[in-house]
Amino acid sequence: MGEKDILSLADASELDNHINNLMECKLLSEEDVEALCKKCKEILETEPNVTPVSCPVTVVGDVHGQYHDVMELFKIAGTAPNTNFLFLGDYVDRGYYSVETVQIVLALKARYPKRVTIIRGNHESRQITQVYGFYDECLRKYGTANVWKMVTDLFDFLPLAAIVENQLFCPHAGLSPGLNTISNIDQLSRFEEVPHEGPMCDLLWSDPDERPGWGLSPRGAGYTFGQDVSEQFTHTNGLKFIMRAHQLVSDGYCWVHEGSVVTVFSAPNYCYRCG
C-alpha cells in the first residue's frame, strides 16, 4: 500500500505544500502546526516502543536545530520517499532553527509514515527544552508558547528506539540495567514526559564507557555501561550491534566496545563551533 493510500489526496497535497515551504525555511502557521501534530500523534500512537525499520535506511543522529545541516544531508542522501530515514532524536535545542528543523522532520513523518522513522531523544522533553532554547525560540518566532506546547505534547508519543532488520538496536542514547530484552522495552508505558530516572530515562541518557559494568553517569541521568554490558545485550537479543546518538563525535561516527556500539552525530558544525 502506497503512502497516498494511507493519506487522503487532500492531506497529501497539503503536506507536500508544507514540506516545500519548510525546505525554503518558511515557518508553518500555528494552525498548521496544530494539525500536523495531530496527524503525527495518530501515526505514532500505533507504533511500538521499539519500531521496526527495513533497509536500506539513512540513519541521522543529533541535529539540534541545525536546519541548514539537515538540508545539506538531504542534498547528499536524497529525501523521502526516495530515501528512507531513521532519526535518532534531539531535533531541537542549541541550534538557531529548532522550530524549522522539528517541523520538517514531522512533516516528512506525516507525509511518508512508512519511510520516515523518528524516535525520542533526551531533548524531546518539556523540561530540557525550557532550558536549552526551543521554548525561547518558539516565543520569539510565534509570540506565544502555544507551538512549544503542541510540539512537546507530541514528543510524548515518540517511540523509544528502533530496530533495523531485527539486527541493529537503535536507541537515542544507550542501555538500562532494568531492560535486558527488546520485549522489556516494548512493555514500558512511554506516553509521558521523560522521567528523571528509570528505564525510559536510561534509554535517552546513558553512554557507553571504557569501564566495565554499570556506572553513575556524569550527566546526572542515565548510566554509563561497559563493553560487557553491550555484548550481553546484543547476544541476548540476537543483534549485530547497537547504533546510537547522544554524544558529539567529530568524524560523524565512532565505533566503541570493539564493534558492539557505534555513535552517530549529524550536526557537523555543532553550536557553530567549527568555523
| Cα angle 16-20-23, degrees, rounded to a multiple of 5 | 135
| Cα angle 176-180-182, degrees, rounded to a multiple of 5 | 100
Q: Which of 18, 64, 68, 123 is catalytic?
A: 123
Does the active-site annotation cover 64?
no
Query: Nine-digit cell at 253?
Result: 561516527
Helix (H, G, I), strand (E, B), or coil: what is residue 50? strand
CA distance 184 to 188: 7
- Burial label, 231 (beta-carbon count in 10 A; 0-12, 13-18, 19+): middle
Q: Which of 1, 117, 115, 116 is nearest to 51 (CA)?
A: 117
Q: Could you give the C-alpha distances from 273 to 48, 101, 180, in angstroms and in order?
A: 37, 19, 38
Residue 252 carries which side chain, given as an amino acid letter?
Answer: G
DSSP 129-197: HHHHSHHHHHHHHHSSSHHHHHHHHHHTTS-SEEEETTTEEEESS---TT--SHHHHHTS--SSSPPSS
CA distance 80 to 88: 16
Phi, psi values for residue 186, rounded to 5°: -65, -20
Q: Residues with catalytic annotation?
A: 123
